[in-house]
Structure 1
Amino acid sequence: MISTTSTPTTPPTLVQITCNATSYYDFCVSSLQSQPDSPKAVDVKGLSSLAVTIAISNATNTSTFAASLADATSTKPPLRSVLRSCATKYRDARQALQWSLDALAADSYDYAFVHVSAAAEYPNVCRVLFRQTPTRLAYPPEMARREQDLEHLCTIALEIISLLG
């Protein structure tokens, strides 16, 4: 027998609706919902700020990670130098993301977009530095994973900012 009773469905949340407009839906939902401030984001602007804040955290943590690898006693000089440069590039990305957060607060969505776009490019420089060394140093897998995460976070932030104006 076929039931004609419909089961109530839970309406999609703001996070789900907003993330549906991004290239990385699952990553977007899991990233935004993992944040304690996620329920406080009551509009797309709040979610865009949250996305940028998550990217800032990633850039900060990756900068610290690269610096700690550079400072390890077993790290050889050529690798140490490249890792220090990478730490600087991720600090630069963090700064650009902070400027984006400031621009979002001022409703300057074009500037916010430009700063996130810049932040997304800094980690690419890190990868290129590894390839440009005379010995073509191997790019550490953990750095590659972190770079991809920041790239996805920046893409999500850009796509959410695009919804604002």
Structure 2
Amino acid sequence: MAKAAAKDWNMKYDFCVEPLESNPHSKSATSIKGLVIASTKNAAFNTINVERITKTILNERKTSHGNKAALRDCIGPYKYANSSLNNALMNVKSQDYRRANEYLISAFDAPRICEDIFTKIKKAKTPIRDENIII
């Protein structure tokens, strides 16, 4: 990964490595396939966590009506992302990497969609901005 990061200025080595280093499943991975499975499981966990945090904020009395509406709109993309990640896992395990990649790309749209909802509707940053990642 370090060599790839050195060749491509768009690839940020630390951004790629940090989630893998903190993931206990990636430590036992012996292949790229194992790393993909570990990182995809980590991403699926993160989508569930963001959805849980979003629902917690929705239940807080201090959350404005406008924020609640926008947050409710964010839940759908995260549910879809989680489903896409589970489909990606199935495809990786069956070695259909082309299809797995399609599902992964689809799942990674959720944070952007949620941020766009807040930017366009509320003209503000989402209250889940720090959690609003998948990887």
TM-score (norm 2): 0.84
**Is residue 135 of structure 2 the alignment partner of residue 139 of structure 1?**
no
The CA distance in 1 between the partners of 2:17 and 2:117, in whole Å, is 32
Q: Which of the residues 77, 84, 89 maps onto 1:101?
A: 89
> Match for 1:52: what amino acid?
T
Give the deviation of 1:30 after TM superposition: 2.1
TM-score (norm 1): 0.71
The CA distance in 1 between the partners of 2:34 and 2:117, in whole Å, is 35
Partner of 1:146, secondary structure, is: coil
Task: State the match for 1:37 in structure 2.
Answer: 25
Contact 1:63–1:87 at 8 Å: present in 2 too? yes
Matches within 5 A, 1:1-165: 18=1, 20-21=3-4, 23-133=11-121, 136-140=122-126, 143-147=128-132, 149-150=133-134, 153=135
Contact 1:104–1:112 at 8 Å: present in 2 too? yes
Contact 1:79–1:137 at 8 Å: present in 2 too? no
> Match for 2:131: what amino acid?
R
Unaligned runs of 5+ in 1: 1-17, 154-165
Partner of 2:16, secondary structure, is: helix
Task: State the match for 2:8 in structure 1.
Answer: none
> Match for 2:129: what amino acid?
A
* Percent of aligned pairs with the same amino acid: 25
Contact 2:44–2:85 at 8 Å: present in 1 too? yes
> Match for 1:21: what amino acid?
A
Give the deviation of 1:123 after TM superposition: 2.1
User: Aligned-residue CA RMSD in angstroms?
Assistant: 1.8
> Match for 2:102: what amino acid?
V
More displaced stretch, 43-52 vs 33-42: 33-42
Unaligned runs of 5+ in 2: 6-10
* Aligned residues between the structures: 130
Contact 2:26–2:39 at 8 Å: present in 1 too? no
Partner of 2:23, secondary structure, is: coil
Contact 1:19–1:29 at 8 Å: present in 2 too? no
Q: Which has the larger radius of gyration?
A: 1
> Match for 2:17: what amino acid?
V
Bigger relative contact order, structure 1 or 2, given CA contacts below 8 A and separation 6+? 1
